[in-house]
Amino acid sequence: MAPAETTTPKKALVFVPAPGIGHLVSVMELAKRLLERDDSFSITMLLMSPPFAHDVTTYVEKLSASHPEFQFLGLPSVPPPPLEDVIACPEHFVSIFIADHKNHVKDMIVNHVLSNKSVKLAGLILDLFCTPFVDVAKDLGVPPYIFFASGAAFLGSMLYLPDRFDNGGVTYKPTDPDSMIPSYINPVPSTVLPSLLFHDGGYSTFVSHARKFKEAKGIIVNTFAELESHAVSYLNGEASVPQVYTVGPVVDLKGNSPVADGSQREEIMNWLDAQPEKSVVFLCFGSQGSFGVPQLKEIALGLEQSGQRFLWSIRRPPSQESLNPGEVNDYSELLPEGFLGRTKNVGFICGWAPQVEVLGHKATGAFVSHCGWNSILESTWYGVPVVTWPLYGEQQINAFQLVKDAGVAIEIKMDYRKDGGEVVTADKVAKAVTDVIEGGGEVKSKVKAMSETGRKALLKGGSSYAAFETLVGVLSGNKA
């Protein structure tokens, strides 16, 4: 009688993304690439219901249909902290909300992954906000990894926080002198530090996250070594920092955005087709980006004053009913009288915009951006210079890094904050967009070179390809 065939169990990786669109998109791209590189992995995504964020149900349904090899499991809902917490410090709010899922995460893994005898749990890959689940991994006897959806320099600034805290460093103030943060080349002005560091709860929460990073087996960073060579060298030289894998740019070049309605896509792309090469300024501020009417009017006047062609994505500011920006029904209510008529031959205004496709279009010459990390990587990929207009999160320090350390962006503002009450004047907008379209030679050449470098990094022999190979070997148990 022939012996029964034995099949090698698949290596199960459990991903726990934060419940935000930017985090979910990049973690999905990472998971897809891991499976493409090694089909012996089994991927499970544990998804939290966003407390006040966009509904990502449609996006997840689309992913489930297109990726039947993934297992998507919804975690039981937990009540969110009080609403005033999110207004005071969104990062502190999100961290508390996520930590409250700890028991659900462990139960879900025990009941739906470990119970499957055809797989063997190989590791947990956790979003930067999901550090409480490092303890879950330890309880289950598997290695935890952090997926850091922002850049290496910002990671370095977080890892610096516990040392600063232990040496008596208290919550930052915007009036503090410049800081020497090892992962940045230039002294960092306090005005560009993330708002969470000015808040007791946010500061202590991020000190706690950073301590947990150091307990992980590795940190996977969505960047490439050449983009942030100074920061990557610093991280690799720190004995207390786990192995860092720079595997980026990990971007969704197909533009499968969870908030994409696509209703204007064809009209937008047809309009771009009719514009001269590298002539259009694209203004888009992310899924949570919006401005009040006074600022919108100044942007409009600045664009008109500049005479440059523009594609502008406008969202209505959040209302009391929703913390999310909304679609605009009548742009004339928000913009200067007659603006739409006067600029109809040079400008196009829309709500949602297919950002990846727009950045990849030959007519796009500049990107006025909130400096979210995914947007930075997308614009770098296509060699489009950024004009910095950060709003929240770590976007101010990202803008600083692009302008001062990397020299691949032009500044409108680096220290603008969404809720700071500041209104950037029309002349500043006009000057920045004119400078980048009609001049900006050095910045343009640096961005073009960085685009080519970033693409090569992912090819065989490139820095990110090599880091990814090493990561796959470690996750599959073939490398220590």
Q: Find tokens 């489930």 and name the residue.
A: 64
What length is written for the chain?
480
- Give pTM, 2 decimals: 0.94
436 neighbors 366 (Cβ within 8 angstroms): yes
CA distances from 456 to 26, 54, 247, 466 (A): 20, 34, 12, 11
- Domain extent listing, the chain: 10-248+458-475, 265-454
d(CA 396, CA 379): 17
Q: Where are the alpha helices (DSSP H) in 335-404?
A: 339-342, 355-359, 373-381, 395-400
CA–chain centroid gap for 358, Å, is 18
- d(CA 197, CA 410) in angstroms, rounded, equals 25
Q: Give pLDDT tens digits along the chain (480 positions).
A: 555 445 788 999 999 999 877 788 889 999 999 999 999 999 999 999 887 655 566 667 777 787 788 999 999 999 988 877 777 898 999 999 999 999 999 999 999 999 998 999 999 999 999 999 999 999 999 999 999 999 999 999 999 999 999 999 889 999 999 999 999 999 999 999 999 999 999 999 999 999 999 999 999 999 999 999 999 999 999 999 999 999 999 998 876 554 555 678 999 999 999 999 999 999 999 877 889 999 999 999 999 999 999 999 998 776 555 556 667 778 998 999 999 999 999 999 998 899 999 999 999 999 999 999 999 999 999 999 999 999 999 999 999 999 999 999 999 999 999 888 899 999 999 999 999 999 989 999 999 999 999 999 999 999 999 999 999 999 998 765
> In the CATH scheme, what is the code of domain 265-454?
3.40.50.2000
Single out the residue of 161, 208, 213 nearest to residue 182, CA to CA. Answer: 161
DSSP 3-state of 98? helix
What is the sign of the dihedral through the CA atoms of 341, 342, 345 and 346?
Answer: negative
CB atoms within 10 A of CB 123: 23
DSSP state letter for 188: B
Q: What is the CATH number of domain 10-248+458-475?
A: 3.40.50.2000
**Residues with Cβ within 8 Å of residue 297, at least 6 apart in sequence:** 334, 335, 336
Q: Do domains 10-248+458-475 and 265-454 have the same CATH topology?
A: yes
CA distances (Å), 320 to each of 49, 90, 161, 205, in order? Answer: 20, 16, 35, 27
